[in-house]
Amino acid sequence: MLGVTLSQKNNNFYFPGRTPDSSGINILFEETQDAGAIRICRQRMLTAIICFLIVYFIIGFRIISVCLVDGIHIFTPVEETFENEMYANTPISRADITDRNGVLIATSLPTVNLYANPKNVRHPEDIAAKLTTLFPEISFNDLIAKLTRKKTSFSMIKYNLSPAQQAAVNNLGIPALEFQKSEKRIYPHKNLFAHILGYTNIDNLGLAGIEKSLHKRLTESSKPLQLSIDIGIQDTIREELLAAVEEFQAKGASAILMDVNNGEVISMVSVPDYDPNLSIPVGNHSLFNFATQGVYEAGSVFKTFNTAIGLESKKVRIHDKFDATKPIKVQGITVSDYRGENRWLSVGEILIYSSNIGSAQLISRVGKEAQRQFLINMGFSQPLSDFETYEKGRPLFPSKKNWRDDTMATVSYGYGISITPLHLISAFSSLINGGIYHYPTIIKDNTATQPARRVISEHTSKDMRDLLRDVVIYGSAKKANIPGYQVIGKTGTANKLVEGRYVDKKVITSFVSAFPKDNPQYALLVIMDEPKGNKKTWGFVTSGWNAVPVGGKIISQIAPQLNIQTDFDLDVQRQHVRAAFVH
């Protein structure tokens, strides 16, 4: 209207960028004689101009930001974003779990669930008949009930269909049947990591093990969770334990291998175990993880801690001798030895011959206060609540009031205090690794774990290693003296408490060891629950006949896998080379 009027009156065409001179407009509006309208028009024009300017400014800003600012990211190194992008593309919502070398040990497969919308169901009998031919395990009557459910548009028929089953259902062409995206947790190695990983229910909710304790981590981040477990070592240890359970007709067995320098658990096995891919009845014995839940009296392996208390307190010196000639009485209980030496024993000999009398004598020099405090420092009074598996046992640790002289004596050789195998191996690692206690963890490079702390001096730790080496060379652990690896260790056989009484024939045998002596890298604990004697063991059930040879076999196999250097002399090595070529 404006333009037309102008062009008619002044025969003027205004190109972009050129504004009509004020006189022209005035002439025009003088003619219209409507000053108010001009003002309103100007205001509207101004508003429109401002609006357009804002829009152009936003567009301009966005163009610059897309071209320059966002564009910068294109040139960022691929390594920085690669990992995040890779995991962002994962088609599953629950993160994978891998071993320390990245081998997949738990993952989820994308599947679909089949459900019906009862509101769209026209001929329930027909649909049920067709579905039962595809899924014979679902009963016809159940299907009818599900398909005719009232006041709902969702009725679940079957979880986790395979792609072939999904195609078959699609081919039925029934509009009332629909699919829902889902995923199924699978454990490719079946029983191998059963107690560590645990399992999930049909709704992918963790019910045991790491699946339960780290459920939040697994569902919040799609980045795989890397454990400190090594699949090869785990398999070797499990195989040996299964063979041992078979050979000694034991009720169960357990083993833990720990990196003594950071507390990482390299392997943790408890048999009997179960296949987490299958549904497991609650209360089944195989669900029990002895390694973390089994609270037991460790027996003679505790003498290791007893000796360390003595040496660390400086009230006992390594060459001191103790009277073990005859049983002693402490507050009404008699302390005697199993196949005792009946003579004065040095600190080393107390360990070699596993003397209860010697241990009780030794600790009496230190006192019950220092003993209790030392064991608290070793972590024996509290459950290892920060350890990552869900199932954890609470130690039975006498209160200060109940810690009497007889408690002091019995604890010195491993009775009267109950701990889990995980407590034992963590504390043992600190005795021989130079004196640093590392909180156990099953996550690789775990930075969130509790800080390490010194529990004994480096000097005491070295003495302990020397004493424990003698136990393997001269004492009850001879069968674990694997040439080349300088194994150190201590055995223990504890009678089981049945209905308040210790039963001789029911024992729990333990062998706690580490290798190599001069620079310990790994600690291994082998425990057998109620092993029986056989012809090979002359009927004996003590640790030296079952747990120790099993430990020896395990060490001889895993040490080469763990890259532990042998300590053979050069001449011996040359002999090995010659022998290899002669045969």
Q: Would you name the residues annotated as active-site residues? A: 300
Size of residue set near another protein by CB under 8 A: 43
Interface with another protein in residues 239-298 (CB under 8 A)? 239
Q: Which residues contact 31 (CB under 8 A, 6 or more apart)?
A: 9
- Binding part of the chain for another protein, among 29-37, 332-340, 453-461, 562-570 by CB under 8 A, reads 562-570
Phi and psi at residue 357, to the nearest 5°: -60, -50
Residue 581 CB-density burial (10 A; 0-12 exposed, 13-18 middle, 19+ buried): exposed
* Structure token digits, residue 199: 């399992």
Residue type, position 487, single letter = V
Query: Is 566 one of the binding residues for another protein (CB under 8 A)?
Result: yes
- Please state, in angstroms and rounded to a whole number, the distance separating the CA atoms of residues 108 and 185: 4
Among 69, 278, 282, 577, binds another protein (CB under 8 A): 577
Query: Is 479 one of the binding residues for another protein (CB under 8 A)?
Result: no
Min. distance of Cβ 573 from another protein in angstroms? 4
Residue type, position 36, single letter = G
User: Distance of CA 381 to CAs 8, 37, 292, 374, 547, Å?
Assistant: 102, 91, 15, 10, 26
Interface with another protein in residues 482-501 (CB under 8 A)? 482-485
Between 190 and 496, name the residue whose CB sits nearer to another protein: 190
- Binding part of the chain for another protein, among 65-73, 364-372, 489-497, 567-575 by CB under 8 A, reads 567-575
Query: Is 192 one of the binding residues for another protein (CB under 8 A)?
Result: yes
Residue type, position 494, single letter = A
The answer to whether the CB of 204 falls within 8 A of the CB of 94 is yes
Among 1, 13, 77, 399, binds another protein (CB under 8 A): 13
- Please state, in angstroms and rounded to a whole number, the distance separating the CA atoms of residues 320 and 435: 22
- Binding part of the chain for another protein, among 76-84, 98-106, 385-393, 494-502 by CB under 8 A, reads 98-106
Cis bond before residue 451 (omega within 30° of 0): no
User: Distance of CA 583 to CAs 222, 483, 561, 580, Å?
Assistant: 53, 20, 24, 6
- x/- letters, 212..231, toward another protein (CB under 8 A): -------------------x
User: Distance of CA 547 to CAs 536, 542, 566, Å?
Assistant: 14, 8, 23
Min. distance of Cβ 560 from another protein in angstroms? 4
* Structure token digits, residue 59: 């567009």
- The full DSSP string for 354-366 is T-HHHHHHHHHHH
Min. distance of Cβ 262 from another protein in angstroms? 24
Min. distance of Cβ 563 from another protein in angstroms? 9
- Binding part of the chain for another protein, among 106-114, 366-374, 471-479, 520-528 by CB under 8 A, reads 106-114
Query: Is 107 one of the binding residues for another protein (CB under 8 A)?
Result: yes
Query: Is 576 one of the binding residues for another protein (CB under 8 A)?
Result: yes
Query: Is 62 one of the binding residues for another protein (CB under 8 A)?
Result: no
Query: Is 568 one of the binding residues for another protein (CB under 8 A)?
Result: yes
- x/- letters, 110..139, toward another protein (CB under 8 A): x-----------------------------
Among 100, 189, 368, 372, binds another protein (CB under 8 A): 189
Among 1, 4, 8, 15, binds another protein (CB under 8 A): 15
Q: At CB < 8 A and 24+ separation, what contacts does 152-156 make?
A: 152/118, 152/119, 153/117, 153/118, 153/119, 154/115, 154/117, 155/115, 155/116, 155/117, 155/118, 156/113, 156/114, 156/115
Burial 527-542 (b: 16+ CB within 10 A, else e): bbbbbbbeeebeeebb
Min. distance of Cβ 150 from another protein in angstroms? 37
Burial 180-201 (b: 16+ CB within 10 A, else e): eebbbbebebebbbbbbbbbbe
Query: Is 427 one of the binding residues for another protein (CB under 8 A)?
Result: no
Min. distance of Cβ 184 from another protein in angstroms? 10
The answer to whether the CB of 371 falls within 8 A of the CB of 408 is yes
- x/- letters, 137..176, toward another protein (CB under 8 A): ----------------------------------------
- Per CB under 8 A, residues contacting another protein are 13, 15, 89-92, 103-105, 107, 109-110, 186, 188-190, 192, 231-232, 235-236, 239, 482-485, 556-557, 559-561, 565-566, 568, 570, 573-574, 576-581
